[in-house]
């Protein structure tokens, strides 16, 4: 286990190094010049050059990258070009909101996805099953921007059940979590359905039925615990999916997380922020996958870590 963890952590570090190199190179190659964004349109060429020098952007790529890495090791993500403050400060201020949103989304996708999958499996082949599966298909394919605005319009503006965007209380959290979770719910309902169908075919279910247990006891006592485990193991992998989703969902709902930060930074070529958020997201994805792999053998003894 320890050897496995060490190996995986080294792998993770290498992946992060690769991500940082690729992102840094891509941003370096962008035709847009960050110095001119900072210097503004009234700046003289002299001012532009002076700023370029102060930021070290006149150095060759290797020097710039090496300096970024050495700073990174000491926890310094640099200063934002546009916001003129520490990137780490900006990310730390916004990370809790994004994590909270992800927790909400995980709850939503599990509750919705698992129950839809369960019902569909039990009523397999019926109209309910078909309706649920069409629903899950829509959930998977609907653009989050549209879903978000739709939910906002119906439940916040028209019905007034929830606040119109913003952050702070539990009721602020419901709609964005739902928007972010619907995509995953679609996947989970399909996984849950097939996993459940698989389990319901097993001999021990037949045995349970044969000994006269009620449907409810068979489903919740015997089938569900076995069917649900492989599904749960996927949560770690969701984090990667969320990282893409939060950019959209946070913008729609005015949720002050790192997705919104990234989106604004991309529009203004604020390279230190783009780098910082990319690295934080990459960390989250790598850790999520690692977590999924570590948890898997505990949930499903057929899986062994090697």
Partner 1 sequence: MRQLLTSTVAASALLLALGMASATAQETLDPKAKQGGAITITYKDDVATLDPAIGYDWQNWSMIKSLFDGLMDYEPGTTTLRPELAESYEISPDGKTFTFKLRKGVKFHNGREMTADDVKYSLDRVTNPKTQSPGAGFFASINGYDDVAGGKSESLAGVTVVDPSTVRIELSRPDATFLHVMAINFSHVVPREEVERYGADFGKHPVGTGAYKMAEWTLGQRLVFERNADYWHKGLPYIDKITFEIGQEPIVALLRLQNGEVDVPGDGIPPAKFQEVMADPEQKARVVEGGQLQTGYVTMNTQMPPFDNVKVRQAVNMAINKDRIVKLINNRAVPANQPLPPSMPGYDKAFAGYAYDVDKAKALLGEAGHPQGFETELFVMNTDPNPRIAQAIQQDLAAIGIKASIQSLAQANVIAAGGEKGGAPMIWSGGMAWIADFPDPSNFYGPILGCSGAVQGGWNWAWYCNKELDEKAAAADSIVDPAKAEERAKLWGEIYAKVMADAPWAPVFNEQRFTMKSPRMGGDDKLYVDPVHIPINYDYVYVNDVQ
Stretch of 66-74, 83-91, 196-204, 285-293 lying at the interface with partner 1 (CB under 8 A): 83-91
Site map for partner 1, 245-284, x if CB under 8 A? -----xxxxxxxx--xx--x--xxx---------------
Q: How far is the CB of 232 from partner 1 (least distance, A)?
A: 32
Taking CB under 8 A as the criterion, which residues in 189-228 touch partner 1? none
Nearer to partner 1 by C-beta: 44 or 141? 44
37 binds partner 1 (CB under 8 A): yes
Structure tokens at 31: 């035709």
Residues 65/66/71/75 CA torsion (nearest 10 deg) = 80
Nearer to partner 1 by C-beta: 139 or 257? 257
Taking CB under 8 A as the criterion, which residues in 127-166 touch partner 1? 149, 152-153, 156-157, 160, 164-166
Q: How far is the CB of 297 from partner 1 (least distance, A)?
A: 40
Stretch of 58-66, 81-89, 199-207, 210-218 lying at the interface with partner 1 (CB under 8 A): 81-89
Among 8, 79, 123, 209, binds partner 1 (CB under 8 A): 79
31 binds partner 1 (CB under 8 A): yes
* Pairwise CA distance, residues 167 & 52, whole Å: 38
Nearer to partner 1 by C-beta: 91 or 228? 91
Nearer to partner 1 by C-beta: 87 or 132? 87
Nearer to partner 1 by C-beta: 41 or 302? 41
* Pairwise CA distance, residues 273 & 27, whole Å: 11
Q: How far is the CB of 224 from partner 1 (least distance, A)?
A: 39
Nearer to partner 1 by C-beta: 37 or 202? 37
Here the contacts of 80-84 (C-beta below 8 Å, separation 24 or greater) are 80/265, 80/270, 80/272, 80/273, 81/34, 81/37, 81/38, 81/55, 81/269, 81/270, 81/271, 81/272, 82/37, 82/38, 82/265, 82/268, 82/270, 82/273, 83/270, 83/273
Nearer to partner 1 by C-beta: 91 or 196? 91
**Chain residues that interact with partner 1, rule: CB under 8 A:** 30-33, 36-48, 50-51, 54, 79, 82-85, 89-90, 93-94, 97, 149, 152-153, 156-157, 160, 164-167, 250-257, 260-261, 264, 267-269
């Amino acid at each position: 286990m320890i050897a496995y963890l060490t190996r995986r952590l080294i792998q993770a570090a290498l992946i992060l190094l690769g991500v940082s190199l690729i992102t840094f190179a891509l941003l370096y190659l962008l035709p847009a010049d960050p110095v001119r964004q900072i210097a503004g349109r009234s700046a003289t060429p002299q001012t532009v050059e002076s700023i370029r020098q102060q930021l070290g952007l006149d150095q060759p790529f290797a020097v710039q990258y090496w300096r970024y890495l050495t700073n990174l090791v000491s926890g310094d993500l640099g200063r934002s070009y546009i916001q003129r403050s520490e990137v780490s400060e900006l990310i730390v201020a916004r990370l809790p909101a994004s994590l909270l949103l992800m927790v909400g989304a995980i709850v939503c996708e599990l509750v919705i996805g698992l129950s839809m999958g369960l019902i569909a499996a039990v009523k397999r082949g019926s109209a309910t099953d078909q309706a649920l599966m069409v629903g899950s298909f829509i959930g998977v394919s609907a653009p989050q921007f549209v879903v978000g605005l739709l939910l906002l319009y119906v439940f916040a503006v028209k019905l007034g059940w929830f606040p119109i965007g913003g952050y702070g209380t539990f009721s602020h959290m419901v709609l964005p979590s739902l928007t972010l979770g619907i995509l995953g719910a679609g996947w989970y309902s399909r996984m849950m359905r097939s996993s459940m169908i698989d389990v319901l075919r097993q001999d021990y279910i037949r045995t349970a039925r044969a000994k006269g247990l009620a449907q409810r006891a068979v489903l919740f006592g015997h089938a569900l615990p076995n069917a649900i485990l492989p599904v749960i193991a996927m949560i770690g992998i969701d984090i990667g999916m969320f990282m893409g989703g939060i950019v959209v969902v946070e913008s729609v709902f005015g949720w002050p997380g790192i997705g919104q930060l990234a989106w604004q930074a991309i529009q203004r070529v604020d390279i230190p922020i783009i780098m910082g958020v990319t690295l934080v997201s990459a960390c989250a994805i790598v850790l999520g996958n690692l977590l999924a792999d570590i948890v898997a053998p505990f949930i499903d003894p057929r899986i062994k870590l090697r």
